Amino acid sequence: MKTADLFKRKTVLSYEVFPPKPTSPIETIYNTINELKTLSPDFISVTYGAGGGKNTHSTFQIASTIKSYGIESVAHLACIGLKKEDVSAKLAELQSLGIDNILALRGDLPDGEYTPGDFPYASDLVSYIKGYGDFNVLAACYPEGHIEAKSKVEDIQNLKIKVDAGADHLISQLFFDNEYFYAFLERCQLAGITAPIEAGIMPVTNKKQIERMTSLCGATVPRKFLSMMNRYEDNPTALRDAGIAYAVDQIVDLIAQGVGGIHLYTMNNPYIARKIHEAIHSLIA
């Protein structure tokens, strides 16, 4: 099933996982997926691992296994450094695996010199995928603006280009203040962006991890959130529970405001996903 069709039926709840490190057996992720399966996800997305878009073997293998469990899957594909023939080969592989949904990304720019490839922007990849076959294409969006955008206006203009190129469904970068997300939805509406938009939520489990993520994506850390991290940073269990409570509070507010879907960045931690699901499942049934 194409993920964009899910929004016609209910509030969507999806999860994101990532391949294990090359030094870890791939089976470790299947334990996580088996636990997530019991939470009745609408779909599970699989990020690409070390090596970016060129190294998609684990991503595709995991996405295929998720489908074999009777759960819809989304495979991430980043286009930095890829030629058209590279992408065509990957799309052919996805078709052979029966995977209909692709999250099309530019990917992070490598440090130092690199060979750009044939796809400068994610919108170029979206357009190429739509021209290749009958895929449902997802794309990323940024409630506070992409960190490389000169302004929020430019960011929305670029997002409109992605949607016009064929993006069927949008998933947001993480954010910790819902007001930024609501303002973003208003900008999308004014720009004529009508694709379903899921709110990306990442529960706090580790202060250093969140500091790294926010530095990469530019998400604002509210005073309430910062106080929570500072108060419990030396108590991992307390920080985990406080992070779950903060995420639940965000999600309840988002659903109450009519947001179409929640995409939970699980960090491969099924315990956190379960606790959040237990708190909100009656709100999205």
Catalytic positions: 16
- Residue bearing tokens 């206006």: 153
Question: What is the 8-class DSSP label of residue 166?
Answer: T
Residue 107 and residue 94 in contact, taking contact as beta carbons nearer than 8 Å = no
Measure the CA–CA gap between 149 and 177, rounded to whole angstroms: 20
Burial class (CB in 10 A: 0-12, 13-18, 19+), 216: exposed
- Residue bearing tokens 């209910």: 10
Residue 150 and residue 177 in contact, taking contact as beta carbons nearer than 8 Å = no
Cβ neighbours of residue 85 under 8 Å, at least 6 residues apart?
none
Dump the DSSP string for 265-278: E-TT-HHHHHHHHH
Measure the CA–CA gap between 144 and 281, rounded to whole angstroms: 28
**Strand runs labelled E in the chain:** 12-17, 43-46, 73-78, 101-105, 136-141, 169-172, 197-201, 261-265
Question: Which pair of structure tokens corresponds to residue 60?
Answer: 């595709």
Measure the CA–CA gap between 217 and 259, rounded to whole angstroms: 22
